Structure 1
Amino acid sequence: MEKKFTHLDKDNNPSMVDISEKKVTERVAVAESIVVLPDEVIELLTGDEITTKKGPVFQTAIIAGIMGAKKTSELIPLCHPIGMDNCQLSIKVNDQHEVVIRCTAKVNSKTGVEMEALTGASVAALTVYDMCKAFSHDIIIKETKLVSKTGGKSDY
């Protein structure tokens, strides 16, 4: 089967995918962003949190990630607006002192939630950057990737 771009019509113009004939299924997507913090920021880590004058960094990033995931269709032009059934974010610092942000989005719908999970993880990573930039601009948002997706036509 030949692969083709799904967001182009027969005349190669941008187009929203027609999901009207698809079945409603449970769809779950997990995305991850990794933020590398310099030592001067990692030194501020107390337990599982970095607290700044703006507030708790990771707690704020979790809320921002959920808000971002919910607004995905407003940010990505051809995404369908969906009412997510659930969105969970977790933030952990690994042994390499990287902040690992994981966003899990869930919906019963005709379309998937990969973009919502990716947006949630990305917005959380940007929030960590924003809240820590007063200490250093040597913060790197290293990667954002889809970890898994289930439901719909194919699993990943």
Structure 2
Amino acid sequence: MAPEDDAPAGPPLTKREFEALAEFRFGIRRYLRFSEETVRRHGLTPQQYQLLLALKGFPGREWATVRELAERLQLRHHSVVELVDRAQGQDLVTRAANPDDARSVRILLTGEGERILGRLSALHRDELRRLDTALTPPDWGEPVAADAESV
């Protein structure tokens, strides 16, 4: 994408919008740091936690293909294969034949993967509750009359 394709829509941001955006970004970074530190204390990498979560949270079923996981994790196919290999070596996931498509395999959580994901996800839920409004996206709606007068 060329830089000229990134032209912003609408008027420039107000000071209040910059503050809201900065606060939101700060909240995201605090959450990500919490997540990275927490999963490492439990013997996983952040990418492994994301893999387990993507599997358990996959819409409508309890498994996914490498291609689907690559899309969900925004990684290249070969990177997901390596990630699955490492997770399988730690007994977090397993591979199974895909009866619907012989060209792909299903990636599933193991009992150990379910156990550690359950514990880590509960900790993440608790942290999100603590962060509460810090992770509320900025309101980009039209300024109310009082705001328009003070601008």
Q: Return the structure number with greater helix share.
A: 2
What TM-score do you get using the length of structure 2 for normalisation? 0.24
Q: Return the structure number with greater strand share.
A: 1
Q: Higher Cα Rg: structure 1 or 2?
A: 2
